[in-house]
Every structure is written in C-alpha cells, then in structure tokens.
A and B are shown apart, each in its own frame.
Chain A
Amino acid sequence: EAGVTQFPSHSVIEKGQTVTLRCDPISGHDNLYWYRRVMGKEIKFLLHFVKESKQDESGMPNNRFLAERTGGTYSTLKVQPAELEDSGVYFCASSRYVAEDGYTFGSGTRLTVV
C-alpha cells in the first residue's frame, strides 16, 4: 500500500506569509494526526482527526494554525501568518484504528520561515 504522503517536502516563506501543508493518509485510515518538531525541540503532537472531525486539537499552538480534513480524506494544515518560530518539520501520520496500533508517519514537510 502507498504510505503517508506529504507535500511540499520543503517550503521557504517569509514571515507574515501564508503556507499550506498537505497530507494524504493511507487509504482507509480514518485517523490522521499532525505532529511537528521545531528547532532543538522534541516531536510534539498537534492534532488528531477521526474522518473529518477534530478529535483532539490540544496541541495546536495558537490560532494562526488551521487544520482541515474535508471529506475525511486528505488534510491540510495552514499557517497564517507564519512566524519565525514556526520553522521546523511538520509530520503527518495515519492509522486505521486509534487503539493500540502504531501510526504510519510521512516523511514530513520542512518549513523555514525567514
């Protein structure tokens, strides 16, 4: 099966601009997660979708971040306006069930805000 696909793989934008990251989960995986690693920090959870519904968005840092998953398929994470501290790698993961299964992660989008 195809894995979790993220694009772009890299994005460089100026402070104040808007960037939209996209994640295509594994087909049939109802659960979709966003994580990120900012410079020098550990990988942190952002939010969790079950189909098109936000199950848990407790990790979203502030209201400049907006995640959507229309139709319960792919998801987008928009950062508007981007700040320097948003630079890092944004990972998407998916799983069929929430239960005890491990997630499959994508390769991430490296975001650089200059």
Chain B
Amino acid sequence: DAKTTQPPSMDCAEGRAANLPCNHSTISGNEYVYWYRQIHSQGPQYIIHGLKNNETNEMASLIITEDRKSSTLILPHATLRDTAVYYCIVRPYGQNFVFGPGTRLSVLP
C-alpha cells in the first residue's frame, strides 16, 4: 500500500506556480521521497527525488519538511503541458515503487 496521502485533484492557473502537497507521516530514515507524473496515455515520468534536503532540477523543486513527514513539489511556472496526475512515492532504498492514486493537476488557461 502507498505510504503517502495526496489531495485527489488541484487546479492551477497557467504561468503560476503549482504547489503539490504530500503527507508521509510514517516515513522511515532510509526512505526517499520521489515524484513522478503521468500525462494522459503516456508512461510515468520521473520528476525529482530527495531524502531530507530540498532539491531542484530543471523540472521542479522538492521541499521536504525538517521532520520529513511531508513534502511539496513545486512547478515554478505551470504550463498547459503540466496537466497530469502527480504521484508522490516514499520508497525504501533499492526497493520498488508503490504508486498511489496521486493528485490530478489541471493547469487552466
């Protein structure tokens, strides 16, 4: 079973930052937080991951709280192409990914 809780859906205006929350209150010390997304009819796409420090790449930023019980994925300037289902996954080191229902993000023009 997934170890994370995400809102089922969110809207975001095009050009604005999209902030997607994720709760993982039972996370263990060796578990990483990953974010994937699935755009309609495509395979899941890796976005970013982190252990305890905030991370940033060309796609997004990941903010993990100090107690590691929650995190936020930030898409700094959302576009219509960012409309997708976003999955927050807590994964023990080296184990397989367990996908939950995710958050359906709709970027609105």
- Is B109 an interface residue when CB atoms closer than 8 A count as contact? no
Question: Cβ of A44 and Cβ of B99 under 8 Å apart?
Answer: yes
Identify whether the interface residues of A are mostly helix, strand, loop, or mixed: loop
Please give the number of chain B residues whose Cβ is less than 8 angstroms from any Cβ of chain A in the complex. 21
- Segment at the interface with B among A12-20, A62-70, A72-80, A105-113: A105-113
Residue on B nearest A42 in the bound complex, by CB: B99
- Is B68 an interface residue when CB atoms closer than 8 A count as contact? no
- Is A39 an interface residue when CB atoms closer than 8 A count as contact? no
Residue on B nearest A3 in the bound complex, by CB: B43
Say how far B27's CB is from chain A's closest CB, in angstroms: 14
Query: Most chain-B Cβ atoms within 10 A of its Cβ — which of A98, A103, A104, A106?
Result: A103
Chain B residues, CB < 8 A from A104: 46
The answer to whether residues A108 and B43 also contact, given A99-B94, A102-B49 and a CB cut-off of 8 A, is: yes
Question: Cβ of A48 and Cβ of B96 under 8 Å apart?
Answer: yes
Bound state CA distance, A43 and B32, in angstroms? 19
A-B contacts, 22 listed (Cβ < 8 Å): A4-B43, A33-B96, A35-B97, A35-B99, A42-B99, A42-B100, A43-B44, A43-B99, A45-B96, A45-B97, A56-B96, A59-B96, A98-B94, A99-B94, A100-B93, A102-B36, A102-B46, A105-B43, A105-B46, A106-B43, A107-B42, A108-B43
